[in-house]
């Protein structure tokens, strides 16, 4: 070792040796640099995504087939023609149908845009106003579009009977606004004759307007024909 080298401290001599190695072996230098970079990466803190992946490792996805659907299906209007066919096939145990006069209904025609309104004298005014405003929730609705007079008549009687069987007292009948208002005229006449009808009125605009009526029925327990 030269006198110059001996004058250097041990630390300086070590740095000098490393420098000489870097000059004579550039590949070794690159390897050392790469190892230093990898070591620095390993020491870096993990980001949120990596931590989340580690925390959820082994977790399985839920089977959606076992999840209950909480969205309630909306009640659809009944098919009047289907109801009429059911009545024709099974027959009706009730006799109200024979008490309704088609002639009486036809002799009192109503206009296509006319507002229908009827109530018995003993019905409370407040109840009638609630029906008129659409505040009373109806049980079933039947749409008479496309029906013959006989089919419409059977369907009206059937939906009234269904409400009585379920002890419900409000139904909706969609008769339409045809130019001659034939079905509307008959519905107006039939409901006025039916002994279980307390009141009916053309529906609010958002529920069908003059193309439908909301009907208030006697409660089943107040009906002398009701069987417990």
Q: What is the CA radius of gyration of the chain?
A: 43
Quick one: pLDDT at residue 161? 93
Residue 182 · residue 146 · CB < 8 Å: no
Q: 78-93 pLDDT, tens per residue?
A: 566 555 555 555 555 4
Sheet holding 117-119, edge to edge: 78-79, 140-143, 170-174, 212-217, 197-202, 117-119
Lowest mean pLDDT: which of 87-96, 120-129, 182-191? 87-96
Across the range 34-47, mean pLDDT stands at 63
Lowest mean pLDDT: which of 22-36, 61-75, 137-151, 176-190? 61-75
Identify the residue with better confidence: 57 or 93: 57
In the chain, the domains with their CATH numbers are 9-53 (no CATH), 78-222 (3.30.1370.110)
- CB-hemisphere CA count at 13 Å for 101? 8
Quick one: pLDDT band at residue 191, thresholds 50, 70, 90? very high
Q: Is 149 exposed, middle or buried (0-12, 13-18, 19+ CB in 10 A)?
A: middle
Quick one: pLDDT band at residue 67, thresholds 50, 70, 90? very low
The owner of tokens 């106003």 is: 129
Query: Which bin fits 19, alpha (ψ -120 to 50), beta or left (φ > 0)?
Result: alpha
Quick one: pLDDT band at residue 142, thresholds 50, 70, 90? very high
Quick one: pLDDT at residue 158? 94
Identify the residue with better confidence: 144 or 105: 144
The owner of tokens 């959606």 is: 64
Instruction: Classify 199 as helix, strand or coil.
Output: strand
Quick one: pLDDT at residue 151? 94
pTM, full prediction: 0.59
Identify the residue with better confidence: 213 or 104: 213
Quick one: pLDDT at residue 225? 52
């Amino acid at each position: 070792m030269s006198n110059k080298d001996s004058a250097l401290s041990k630390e300086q001599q070590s740095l000098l040796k490393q420098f000489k190695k870097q000059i004579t072996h550039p590949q070794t230098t690159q390897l050392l640099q790469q190892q230093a970079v990898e070591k620095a990466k390993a020491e870096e803190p993990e980001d949120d995504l990596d931590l989340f992946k580690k925390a959820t490792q082994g977790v399985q996805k839920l089977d959606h087939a076992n999840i209950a659907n909480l969205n309630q299906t909306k009640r659809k209007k009944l098919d009047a023609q289907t109801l009429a066919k059911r009545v024709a096939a099974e027959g009706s145990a009730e006799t109200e149908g024979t008490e309704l006069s088609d002639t009486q209904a036809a002799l009192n025609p109503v206009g296509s845009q006319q507002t229908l309104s009827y109530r018995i004298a003993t019905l409370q005014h407040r109840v009638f106003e609630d029906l008129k405003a659409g505040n009373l929730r109806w049980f079933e609705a039947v749409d008479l579009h496309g029906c013959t007079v006989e089919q419409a008549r059977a369907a009206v009687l059937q939906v009234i009977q269904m409400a009585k069987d379920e002890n419900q007292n409000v139904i909706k009948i969609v008769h339409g606004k045809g130019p001659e208002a034939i079905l509307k005229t008959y519905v107006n006449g039939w409901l006025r004759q039916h002994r279980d009808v307390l009141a009916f009125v053309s529906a609010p605009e958002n529920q069908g307007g003059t193309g439908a009526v909301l009907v208030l029925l006697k409660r089943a327990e107040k009906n002398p024909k009701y069987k417990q």
